[in-house]
Amino acid sequence: MRFDYTRSVGTTIGTFLTNLRDHKIIGARGSDGRVIVPPPEYDPITAEPLTDFVDVAETGTVESWTWVREPLPGQPFDRPFAWALIRLDGADTTLLHAVDVAAPEDMQTGLRVTARWAAKTEGSIRDIVCFEPGEKSGSPAEAGAAAEPVTMITTPVDLSYKHTASPQETVYLRGLAEGKLIGARTDDAGKVYFPPRGANPTDGRPTNDFIELPDRGTVTTFCIVNVPFLGQRIKPPYVAAYVLLDGADIPVLHLVLGCDASEVRMGMRVEAVWKPREEWGYGLENVDHFRPTGEPDADYETYKHHL
Amino acid sequence: MTDNATDIAVVGFAHAPHVPETFGTTNGVEMLVPCFQQLYDRLGITKSDIGFWCSGSSDYLAGRAFSFISAVDAIGAVPPINESHVEMDAAWALYEAWVKLRSGQAKTALVYGFGKSSASTLRQVLTLQLDPYLVAPLWPDALSIAGLQARAGLDAGRWTERDMAAVAAGASGDVDSLLDKPYVADPLRAHDVAPITDGAAAVVLAVGDRARELCERPAWITGMAHRVDTPVLGARDLTVSPSTSAAARAVTGGDTSGFDVAELHAPFSHQQLILTEAIGLRNGTAINPSGGALTANPMFAAGLERIGFAAEAIMAGTANRALAHATSGPALQQNLVTVLESETQ
């Protein structure tokens, strides 16, 4: 799962990030007199907006720490490092960040650390690469001239998952690899689902009575895609349609090609166009698209319950 | 109770096997169907006897959008059902259901939670619970956040590594051999950290006489409250849990005597120490007879299971008064405390 979260940061976080870009760290003074870093948007006690910004030092003291033996993608280092809660001089709360030392033996609570700035600061918490032991930073010189205030941040998210097919999906996917369309129902009184489901949504029971379906059916409804979007594989306009396979009780979403988009209609009879056999895998994309069969349209009565 | 609230009880609890990895989908359907079946059979009810459904789960854990919608397949939503969802541990779904019953909108509720932690890297996925502006972009993981909390307590003299190992070892365990084990996220060792568990759990609630019909010894909910601490980790004292204290005070009125059992949702050993103190549990209370989250931690169901196990002790007659705690979010950020009793007060 990979996507970029783009967020507007608001006034308070925006001010903090704009200052970070200039190699400055600020906090806000709360109603109890504490200097809170990073500055919260609202006072933790009174919930009033906090506007009394205070400069704090880029040097501080480790208040707690832990050691990362196996760094994860996205973390500040791809080698072991420490996370620490750091109380910057002038602050009353701690900031979470990485500390660059070689071994856990080099870490201790009370360690004095200083921010190491990125070569190019952009208005993100990652403008601070990490903290390093000592009172003085070996960072590059001060950031350049003032630019527009920071109003947005983008955070990439990249997570991987091992997705497992349910037992019913497994039968369906194996069928596809052999060129078969397999639906299923809970019992012979039940509706035929394509694909079969782990639990029948009408009664919660598994659909374990498998049925091979023909590769032709009826368009129940459709839309003409006119809008280009990222990752699009076909040039618009084209038709995405619900196709009710003969014998199934629920339509499946697929492409209808092989005719002008404006010719596609409810009730149109279509058949699968399979990719060459050597390209088949475990997926419905083995069917490249559906195309009109040329048969007369299906009577509305035959599919009106499956819209 | 002093207000005119309806009496509400837990009348059934079921959970899926606690396993490191299941064959099922991240929708939870394969784990939930047997739970529901078990509850229907035991209580002699069907789907149509349930007035309200509420679940807890997470799309980030499932790796897909609207994963709770697929889980609804396990219920069967034809004819339409009255259903809701929280993106938290299902203990909070139980709270929502409790409010629903208290406000007279239903007589029974079925609450469920599920999570397939094995599908991804749990400690990384849980980063997405953190502040997305200034913390999550660094990708600190859940194990590290807990390590920072554990260290803060050690440095403050609130507990020792031996105390932490003693929680993990239980009454008969060998603490010394645990202390010889290597760190996984200093000062946490493997035994200080809940195992990766796939699981699901379900609880049935019922009102007044309906509860008495369904269960010989209903576990009456005599108090339920939840509180939250600031999400800013650096702005709170991680060695204590004020939100747990506040929730516990709200439901016990400060009287923590007479609890036969307390089920605490502590995914890390030191958190059990924090919680025990925050609630003010006395010596006579058996803490986590189920084994707690350190033996099985099905995400988004483990907190609901604490309520389930506490209720089960009452339904089975081995306890008269029980306390259940659930947590959600990083470093005990949000906490819920429930008091269950064998008879209405």
Q: Are B232 and B154 in contact (CB under 8 A)?
A: no
CA distance B187 to B5: 46
pLDDT at A45: 86
Per-residue pLDDT at A60 exceeds 70: yes
Q: Are A211 and A192 in contact (CB under 8 A)?
A: yes
pLDDT at A139: 75
pLDDT average, residue stretch B201-226:
97
Per-residue pLDDT at B345 exceeds 50: no
Instruction: Report the chain B residue with the minimal C-alpha distance to residue A103.
Output: B186
Considering chain B, what is the average pLDDT of its residues? 95
Per-residue pLDDT at B293 exceeds 70: yes
Percent of chain A surpassing pLDDT 90: 85
Cβ of residue A228 closer than 8 Å to a chain B Cβ: no
Percent of chain A surpassing pLDDT 70: 98
pLDDT at B3: 44
To the nearest whole angstrom, how far is the Cα of A163 from the nearest Cα of chain B?
7
Q: Are A62 and A107 in contact (CB under 8 A)?
A: yes
pLDDT at B343: 82
Per-residue pLDDT at B332 exceeds 60: yes
CA distance B304 to B14: 10
Give pTM, 2 decimals: 0.92
Cβ of residue A198 closer than 8 Å to a chain B Cβ: yes
pLDDT average, residue stretch A109-132:
96
Find chain A residues with C-beta within 8 A of B234's C-beta.
Answer: 37, 85, 93-96
Per-residue pLDDT at B189 exceeds 60: yes
Chain centroid to CA A101: 32
In this complex, do A204 and B76 lie within 8 Å of one another by their Cβ atoms?
A: yes
- Read off the pLDDT of residues A62-100 as tens digits, 9 standing for 90 and up: 999 999 999 999 999 999 999 999 999 999 999 999 999
Alpha carbons within 13 A on the beta-carbon side of B232: 17
- Read off the pLDDT of residues A289-300 as tens digits, 9 standing for 90 and up: 999 999 999 999
Per-residue pLDDT at A272 exceeds 70: yes
- Read off the pLDDT of residues B19-55 as tens digits, 9 standing for 90 and up: 999 988 999 999 999 999 999 999 999 999 999 999 9
Report phi then psi at A4, rounded to 5: -105, 125
Query: Given pLDDT bands bounded at 50, 70 and 90, which one contains residue B208?
Result: very high
Find chain B residues with C-beta within 8 A of A197's C-beta.
Answer: 73
Cβ of residue A40 closer than 8 Å to a chain B Cβ: yes
Helix then strand then coil, in percent of chain B rounded to 5, is 40, 20, 40
Tokens at residue B137, please? 């972009």
Per-residue pLDDT at B1 exceeds 60: no
Nearest to B139 among A7, A64, A75 (CB): A75
Mutate to test the interface with A, among B78, B138, B236 (most CBs of A within 10 A): B138
Cβ of residue A169 closer than 8 Å to a chain B Cβ: yes
Query: Given pLDDT bands bounded at 50, 70 and 90, which one contains residue B340?
Result: very high
Cβ of residue A206 closer than 8 Å to a chain B Cβ: yes
- Does ipTM come in above 0.90? yes
Edge-to-edge strand order for the sheet containing A25-29?
A35-36, A25-29, A53-56
- Read off the pLDDT of residues A10-19 as tens digits, 9 standing for 90 and up: 999 999 999 9
- DSSP letter string over B172-208? T--HHHHHTSPEEETTEEGGGBPPPBEEEEEEEEEEH
Find chain B residues with C-beta within 8 A of A63's C-beta.
Answer: 152
- Read off the pLDDT of residues B88-134 as tens digits, 9 standing for 90 and up: 999 999 999 999 999 999 999 999 999 999 999 999 999 999 999 99
pLDDT average, residue stretch A147-160:
94
Considering chain A, what is the average pLDDT of its residues? 94
Residues 237-276 of chain A with CB under 8 A from chain B are none
Per-residue pLDDT at B2 exceeds 70: no
pLDDT at A145: 62
Count of helix runs (H) and strand runs (E) in chain A? 2, 17
Cβ of residue A155 closer than 8 Å to a chain B Cβ: yes
pLDDT average, residue stretch B148-175:
94
CA distance B325 to B314: 16
Nearest to A204 among B74, B134, B188 (CB): B74
